[in-house]
Amino acid sequence: MTSDTLAPPVPLGGNSVLTALHDAWVVTLRNLRRMTRIPEIVVFSSIQPIMFVLLFAFVFGGAIPVPGAGGATAYREFLLPGIFVQTLAFTAATTSVGLADDLQKGLIDRFRSLPISRSAVLAGRTTADWLQNLFVLLVMAVCGLVVGWRIHDGFLKALGGFALLMLFAYAMSWIGATIGLSVRTVEAANTIGFIWIFPLTFLSNAFVPARKISPQWLQDVANWNPVSATVQALRTLWGNPDGYGPAAKMPWPIAHAPWVSLFWSLLILLVFVPLSVRKYRSVSA
């Protein structure tokens, strides 16, 4: 052994924000490497959205009329923002499962015994998941273009839409982080993810215009759903049909969708980032 010369304890990196970013980036790289080692993860995470695009576009497409818009591709243009948001909402489950897995395998203990920033492991996980989502989004967008979805309102608004979408995905990921650290087993993380994300994404305007949902209270829930706000924001910014005719009166959160979506995402981050970091500090396998 060469431990005859004991190194002095590693000194504090001067700037704590830079240190936190550095630590988070090291963990991000570790998580990304996993994706390159198991390409199935990325392949399967893009197959599901492709499947959804095709199934909804061709199976339901003819049966669900989109008010205020005509043409064969109207429903597909209506649908794609919904599919995007639903798919990225499921990041929450990906993040939970990833963290629960690290917890079960003792890796979180390892990280917690190292002198690293308390947010590094969570930030590293959510960032890696976010980057994976960028790729999945790219795949979905190409697939969408193939079935006839288009962006109509210019580059800046298009970019704004993508930014809101990815911010929403990042926020969902932190909800997943909190859940993953709470349930602590991969199986539970998986199951719970589906239990809340499915209703969350279906009780929205993602697949059918929210106006068709009844009873009224359920419709109100759908209108205030962060998923609906984000979907509507995308439709507005990209010039895709939203199911409201020119004369139709939109509910308030739908009429102000981009701001409501932004508000929801920031609120989720504001609540769940501190909550999950607090959980991380005391979690045990």
Residue 17 sits in the site that holds other proteins (CB under 8 A): no
CA 25 – CA 19 distance, rounded (Å): 10
Category of 277 on φ-ψ map: left (φ > 0), alpha (ψ -120 to 50) or beta: alpha
**Angle in degrees, CA 208, 209, 212, rounded to 5:** 95
Instruction: By CB under 8 A, tell whether 13 contacts other proteins.
Output: yes
CB of 20 to other proteins, least distance (A): 12
Tell which one of 20, 54, 112, 131 touches other proteins (CB under 8 A): 112
284 with 113: CB under 8 angstroms? no
Q: Do 182 and 99 touch, CB atoms closer than 8 A?
A: no
163 near other proteins, rule: CB under 8 A:
no
Among 62, 70, 109, 146, binds other proteins (CB under 8 A): 109
Rounded CA-CA distance 156/238 in Å is: 10
Q: Is 111 in the site for other proteins (CB under 8 A)?
A: yes
* Tokens found for residue 14: 């001067």
Q: Which two tokens stand for residue 154?
A: 């210019």
Residue nearer to other proteins on the CB measure, 7 or 247: 7
The reply on whether position 115 binds other proteins by CB under 8 A is: yes
Subset of residues 23 to 82 that bind other proteins, contact rule: CB under 8 A = 23, 26-27, 29-30, 33-34, 37-38
Query: How far, in Å, CA of 54 to CA of 51, rounded?
Result: 5
Q: Of the listed pieces 55-63, 69-77, 103-111, 177-185, which binds other proteins according to CB under 8 A?
A: 103-111
Which CB atom, from 94 or from 228, has the smaller least distance to other proteins? 94
The residue among 45, 262, 32, 272 whose CA lies nearest residue 167 is 262
**Which parts of this chain interact with other proteins (CB under 8 A)?**
1-7, 9-10, 13, 19, 22-23, 26-27, 29-30, 33-34, 37-38, 105-107, 109-116, 120, 282, 284
